[in-house]
Amino acid sequence: MTTAPDPSPVPLAPLTSLTPLPRFPRDFLWGVSTSAQQIEGAVDEDGRGRSAWDAFADGPGRIKDGSDARVATDHYHRYREDVALLRGLGVGAYRFSVSWPRIVPDGRGAVNPAGLDFYDRLVDELLAAGVEPVPTLFHWDTPQALETGDIGGSIAGGGSVAGRGSVAGGGWLARETSEHFAAYADTVAARLGDRVDRWITLNEPAELTLLGYGLGQHAPGRRLVFDALPAAHHQLLGHGLAVQALRARGATNIGIANSHGPTWPASRTEADSAAAALYDVLLNRLFADPLLLGRYPDEELAALLPGPVADDLKIISQPLDWYGINYYQPTLVGAPDPAAAGPAEFGGISLPPELPFAPREIEDRPRTDFGWPVVPEALTELLLSFRERYGASLPPVLITENGCAYDGVEDPDRITFLDAHLRALHDALSAGVDVRGYFVWSLMDNFEWAEGYARRFGLVHIDYRTLTRTPKSSYHWLRDTLRDQARG
């Protein structure tokens, strides 16, 4: 495994706010999040199958630092040490993901008992530490055996998408993957359901659709642009089928973790407003409307999706016990510039010329090491807009991810970021939005997908040469903050 060198600690800078946070409800759920592919390692051990990300990382130039997740943070072997960190932090819940290929190596068929045994041990360790286990059943690690299966055929129900012809392929382009996912969900629930109360079906289907199938920047590396839309529908269908499987096993506390952020038009012109509206549909409403309203936001868009869409929506829109939102940043969007020389780029990604919108940089804001603008008040805006848009159809909300990439064991910028976003979250609570919990991304530095090990989101620093865990200043700040909240 090739990794980037570890950074030297940076001096502690003055914080924008050291005053105590406003009081959150006493039953507010505080947690941290991780995902299996990013921390577990043990890729070739104990019967685990290959994931789409394992295969993607094998391709030259796909991971910026040339690394892979074969070892990651070695959580598979060091989970007891990591649970001790959770206990010391004082969080009430730990959101982790279950690796589909560790449980069902080929994505369907034979179950790997050793994989279930690992999560058995992890759940028991969490409960013994007084930390609620919150498993996410899918966090982008599609079994590669499903991804390579050419079982999708042409797009059904709508013919060619955007005039690009039929799409063949496996993974989430294939309807059968939704059914295999539900069977896997049933397997996990059968083993862990006696001790797990709160379940998450999917993490961020929008990003997998856009970056994995649409633009090819993430696994599985397909560049289908609008022909990626079947992957969105099939993930949502897989969610609905998994909800049915979990309910059949007695689960009464089920949600999903969708990524959302406000979309801001670059100007008041009709062209920029229309471009921003379309972007908002594709990144926000395409995934929230079917779940919360039982319909897609646009009839023409729905006509392009595969399968018996009306019947599928009845499965997709089963009531949720809560709705998870991952928030990182808003997006400024305008119409493409026809006079621009060369392909447009955003966040280091080369955008296809046929896209009818163009994300723009948000100026005059501090930026994380990832280059993302820090806009905490946009979290308040997002939550208020969800309450306005969905009304009584919106169940209680959990912030299932919020965090930032900064180097250093002394990380004052992360403290400032978390402090500001928690204040913004409290503003939404005070305005009447029913938010029940907040999860920091992430417990520890990890394999950050196509960025490799170059971006550090963790409250705990990982030395990737020795795998030593070192709590950062932000870890201690959050521990003290949670203690203060508990005294309230």
Residues assigned a catalytic role: 204, 401
Q: Is 7 left (phi over 0), alpha (psi -120 to 50) or beta?
A: beta
Instruction: Report the distance separating Cα 135 and Cα 197, nearest Å.
Output: 9
**For 198-348, where are the E strands, in sequence order?**
199-203, 254-259, 263-265, 323-326, 331-334, 345-346
Cα within 13 Å of Cα(395), Cβ side = 19
Q: Which two tokens stand for residue 259?
A: 């990524």
- In the block, residue with structure tokens 């570890």: 6
Closest alpha carbon to 221 in 154, 292, 106, 144: 144
User: Which residue stretches of 90-225 are H helix?
Assistant: 100-103, 113-128, 144-147, 175-192, 205-207
Closest alpha carbon to 415 in 366, 474, 374, 470: 474
Q: Which residue type, as a one-letter code, is found at position 381? A: E
User: Strand 93-97 to strand 460-462: parallel, antiparallel, or no bridges (unpaired)?
Assistant: unpaired
Q: Is 178 helix (H, G, I), strand (E, B) or coil?
A: helix
Helix (H) or strand (E) run with residue 484 in it = helix 473-487
Q: Is 460 helix (H, G, I), strand (E, B) or coil?
A: strand
Question: Residue 462's beta-bridge partner residues?
Answer: 469
- Is residue 448 within 8 Å of 454, Cβ to Cβ? yes
Q: Which two tokens stand for residue 273?
A: 């407003």
